[in-house]
Amino acid sequence: MNKYISREMVRIASGKRSKNIVTIALVTACCLLGDSMLYIALPIYWREAGLDGLWQVGVLLAVNRFVRLPLNPVVGKIYGKISLKAGLMFAVFLSIITTVGYGFAGSFAAWLVLRALWGLAWSFLRIGGLSTVSIYGGDNKQGEAMGVYNGLYRLGSLGGMLGGGLLTPFFGLSWVSIIFGLFSAFGIILLAAVYKTEKLKKDPLKKKEKRMSPVSLIQKHALIMGSSFGITMIIQGVFAATLSTLIVYHYGDAVDFWSVAVASAALSGILQALRWAWEPFLAKQVGIWSDGKKGRIPYLIGSLFIGAVSFPLLIVSFSPLIWVGVTILAMLVSTALTTLVDARASDEAQGQDRVRFFTYYTVIQDLGAAAGPFLGYILISFAFGYEMLYILCGGFLFIMMFLWMRKKSSVH
């Protein structure tokens, strides 16, 4: 009887943990709608937004990442004094204000303030979300938990991009922004009704302990921090920022499939939307595999090898169908890499102040996301720039693969 009761209590507790992870993922997805919509709509409807030139679009789409660099440590300290739920509620309120605000902004200065506020909101969402997964993921299930979280919250990117592309031509940027802002309000309902944080009072991260300096913390976890920086730089930075121009570089403004011309911009949008569509399923499955007896490192090594081969192949002008196949392979491995690295980070965060760990982990990721487009467009401005850029990406992944192989051999 006692064994049965114990198993039943574990099952119920596990259900509560899963609800928290799914809830924060869906809350994040709701909040992401407006941000993701801008990447599709703002470059086209910038005049309607009250901007004076395309260069202002580039600044607005990047500024939220740059403001997060100094804000993340501040947000981490705030989380040390408030509950995760309170911080997440604040993030949702900010996302509602910013997304609805996009519908009323009529100048570059107003947009700049709103995008900076969104950067603050994302800091609260990201640090709170990763900490939630680490705390409620459960023993030996961090991979599955991280896969569920990453897969579900990226539905917001899919919905924002598709909704922005389909609705803005009919309703205009202002009304779409207001509609998406109202959708973000569902996050408050989800947090209030489902998200429970009672167990945080007894969580190990609350105990007093001697804290390492940020530099010492990053040095202690140098391999996972370095891997996260590089993978984020390549996937969220270089690849996402240059995919459209890479297609134009190979095939011009339109790609011919069996005598059917597809606009390069449309092909880029379809490919990136395809990734967001499979994320909820593939990311969870990769996480489940990595929770098995083999552990995460073998899967990470294999994914790094496939990435190191597939990304440099993107510079080869294959026939369009083969090139799309190589691109899909690179995107599949991107899903695996982001899930595995985040899950490994969650492993390393156990037994210490997890909010603080993920504060600096997020800083490293934001550095990578900001550095990717910057370095990418510097390189492609030179002759053979695309070739240099993607060969360097492949080279970095090879180096990471060997470092993780050495890590694996040192463990055994």
Tell me the per-residue pLDDT of 137-168, one tens digit each, with 9 for 90 and over. Answer: 876 778 888 999 988 998 998 888 888 777 88
For residue 131, give the nearest of 20, 224, 208 by alpha carbon: 20
pLDDT at 95: 96
- The secondary structure of residue 1, as a DSSP letter, is -
**Residue 29 CA: distances (Å) to CA of 34, 122, 302:** 10, 11, 29
Report the distance separating Cα 222 and Cα 400, nearest Å. 12
Question: Is the CB of residue 156 less than 8 Å from the CB of residue 33?
Answer: yes
DSSP secondary structure, 168-229, as one string = HHHHHHHHHHHHHHHHHTHHHHHHHHT---GGGGG-GGGS--PPPPHHHHHHHTHHHHHHHH
* CATH number belonging to domain 1-202: 1.20.1250.20
Question: Is the CB of residue 283 less than 8 Å from the CB of residue 150?
Answer: yes
CA 307 to chain CA mean position, Å? 18
pLDDT at 172: 86
Which structure tokens are listed for 281?
A: 């399923």
pLDDT at 210: 55
DSSP secondary structure, 311-364, as one string = HHHTTS---HHHHHHHHHHHHHHHHHHHHHHHHHHHHHHTTS-HHHHHHHHHHH
Beta strand spans in 166-324 (E):
254-257, 260-263
Cα angle: 408, vertex 411, 412; to 5 degrees: 95
Provide the residue ranges of all domains of the chain, joining segments of one domain with +.
1-202, 213-412
Point out the residues of the chain with pLDDT beneath 70.
1-17, 139, 197-211, 259, 265, 411-412
pLDDT tens profile 178-215: 999 999 999 899 888 877 764 444 444 444 445 677 78
Q: Which amino acid belongs to residue 184?
A: S
User: Please, what is the angle between helix 142-153 and helix 264-290, to 10°?
Assistant: 160
Residue 47, classified by CB atoms within 10 Å of its CB into exposed (0-12), middle (13-18) or buried (19+), is exposed
Question: Is the CB of residue 89 less than 8 Å from the CB of residue 31?
Answer: no
- The secondary structure of residue 209, as a DSSP letter, is -
Which structure tokens are listed for 273?
A: 């939307």
Q: Which amino acid belongs to residue 160?
A: G
Report the distance separating Cα 394 and Cα 234, nearest Å. 9
Question: Is the CB of residue 191 less than 8 Å from the CB of residue 23?
Answer: yes
**Residue 6 CA: distances (Å) to CA of 40, 188, 196:** 51, 34, 21
Task: Indicate if 213-412 has the same CATH topology as 1-202.
Answer: yes
- The secondary structure of residue 262, as a DSSP letter, is E
Q: What is the chain's length?
A: 412
* CATH number belonging to domain 213-412: 1.20.1250.20
pLDDT at 3: 41
Report the distance separating Cα 123 and Cα 186, nearest Å. 19
pLDDT tens profile 329-373: 999 999 999 999 999 998 888 777 788 899 899 999 989 988 888
Report the distance separating Cα 100 and Cα 181, nearest Å. 5
pLDDT at 9: 29
